[in-house]
């Protein structure tokens, strides 16, 4: 915008998380008593506050923490309907299964485009207020050619990271012909949806799609220029991780049940130029009472780990990555530094983005100012609102300094 200053100095930062070890201490590149300069929506300079250059405008962090905006690489926010009673029943003992998705499918098909867009925008605002500046959004609640296409068109109005997930579950009309549904997904549905998306995803799980069908979906998507992602190993051990690594998918998401071979495959994939990230979704396991993934084993083996919200109406209706960080530290074996890295730089790796998730010169000026002296408070004070202000591309997105 023309009325914005061309350079902005954010100084008196108590702790600055850069996620660049060359700039500061540890894997998160931590700098104390820090400052940064934003120029034309990008980071122009970071370093000690007493060395900061002059700028056209100043933001006083007042000794608080600044970290990269959260990069949420897995969400399902284009939907209609409500499944709160399903959640209550699950808390009373009914197990989670993939079939509950069909409840949301019915409501989403009935909803207008305007209703879907209003709901998605509300959740984007909600996530932004909690520090999320980059958000991936999937389709998957339409399961017809027309409903998947319009879901992706809605998603494209709220994010650049759009994923075609026609292979979420088999559409109810094809309950007796799952092969026919795969033919639809890889043919007419993909033809209609590919122009709206960057990614193709598949739920490779019992109750959804087996390995052969999942490979067909990913192969067809790749032929249309879409990059692969995989839902895998959520409800039990299975082929999801192996398939994701084989197909050089950007990420395999959930990873709740992993064999030693799965962990080793993800560790080996981390050595490739374009790794397959293990994206963990703590909110899902919290909300379904599933076991938590062994994040410690993945990190110790050398795998790249991301944390994402999986915001959706059925298995995990939270948009808070701060909550996910706290759960990952409390129950999944990550240190606070590792969890914050996974929710920022890890998410960026899962989206194959080099411009977000860190605050080195040249990165987008996507910043979160915490009302806390350091990033450890995200796990130290769970459930407490701590985001004071959020900037995206150098412009104030939510809150106020």
Phi, psi of 348, deg, nearest 5: -65, -40
* Arithmetic mean of pLDDT, 193-219: 97
Report CA dihedral (39, 43, 49, 50) to the nearest 10 degrees. -60
- pLDDT class for 1, splitting at 50, 70, 90? very low
* Arithmetic mean of pLDDT, 36-49: 97
Give the pLDDT score at 94: 77
Q: Is 315 exposed, middle or buried (0-12, 13-18, 19+ CB in 10 A)?
A: buried
- Report the phi/psi class of residue 143: left, alpha or beta, with left for phi > 0 and alpha for psi in -120 to 50: left
305-329 residue pLDDT tens: 999 999 999 999 999 999 999 999 9
The yes-or-no verdict on residue 97 having pLDDT over 70 is no
7-22 residue pLDDT tens: 999 999 999 999 999 9
Residue with tokens 């080195």: 360
- pLDDT class for 3, splitting at 50, 70, 90? low
**Helix H or strand E segment including 42:** strand 42-48
Give the pLDDT score at 396: 97
Q: Look up residue 268 and give its two tokens.
A: 């080996």
Q: How far is the CA of 85 from the CAs of 92, 107, 181, 234, 282, in angstroms?
A: 11, 15, 29, 22, 21
């Amino acid at each position: 915008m023309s009325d914005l200053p061309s350079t902005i100095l954010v100084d008196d930062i108590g702790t600055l998380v850069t996620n660049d070890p060359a700039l500061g201490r540890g894997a998160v590149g931590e700098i104390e008593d820090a400052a940064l300069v934003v120029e034309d929506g990008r980071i122009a300079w970071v370093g000690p506050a007493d060395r900061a250059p002059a700028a056209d405008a100043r933001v006083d962090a007042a000794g608080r923490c600044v970290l990269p905006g959260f990069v949420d690489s897995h969400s399902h926010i284009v939907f209609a309907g409500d499944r709160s009673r399903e959640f209550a029943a699950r808390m009373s003992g009914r197990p989670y299964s993939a079939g509950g998705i069909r409840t949301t499918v019915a409501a989403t098909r009935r909803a207008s485009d305007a209703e879907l867009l209003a709901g998605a925008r509300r959740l984007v605002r909600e996530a932004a207020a909690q520090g999320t500046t980059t958000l991936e959004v999937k389709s998957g609640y339409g399961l017809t050619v027309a409903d998947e296409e319009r879901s992706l068109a809605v998603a494209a109005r709220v994010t650049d990271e759009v994923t075609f997930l026609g292979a979420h579950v088999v559409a109810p009309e094809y309950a007796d012909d799952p092969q026919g549904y795969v033919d639809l997904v890889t043919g007419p549905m993909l033809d209609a949806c590919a122009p709206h998306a960057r990614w193709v995803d598949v739920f490779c799980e019992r109750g959804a799609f087996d390995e052969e069908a999942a490979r067909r979906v990913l192969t067809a998507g790749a032929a249309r220029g879409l990059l692969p992602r995989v839902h895998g190993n959520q409800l039990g051990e299975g082929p999801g991780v192996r398939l994701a690594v084989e197909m050089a998918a950007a990420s395999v998401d959930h990873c709740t049940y992993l064999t030693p071979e799965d962990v080793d495959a993800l560790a080996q994939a981390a050595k490739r130029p374009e790794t397959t990230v293990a994206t963990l979704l703590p909110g899902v396991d919290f909300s379904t009472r599933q076991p938590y993934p062994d994040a410690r084993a993945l990190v110790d083996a050398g795998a790249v780990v991301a944390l994402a919200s999986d915001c959706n109406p059925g298995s995990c209706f939270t948009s808070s990555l701060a909550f996910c960080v706290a759960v990952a530290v409390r129950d999944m074996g990550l240190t606070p530094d590792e969890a914050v890295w996974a929710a920022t730089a890890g998410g960026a790796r899962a989206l194959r983005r080099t411009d977000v998730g860190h605050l080195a010169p040249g990165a987008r000026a996507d910043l979160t100012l915490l009302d806390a002296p350091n990033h450890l408070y995200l796990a130290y004070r769970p459930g407490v609102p701590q985001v004071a202000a959020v900037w995206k591309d150098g412009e104030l997105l939510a809150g106020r300094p």
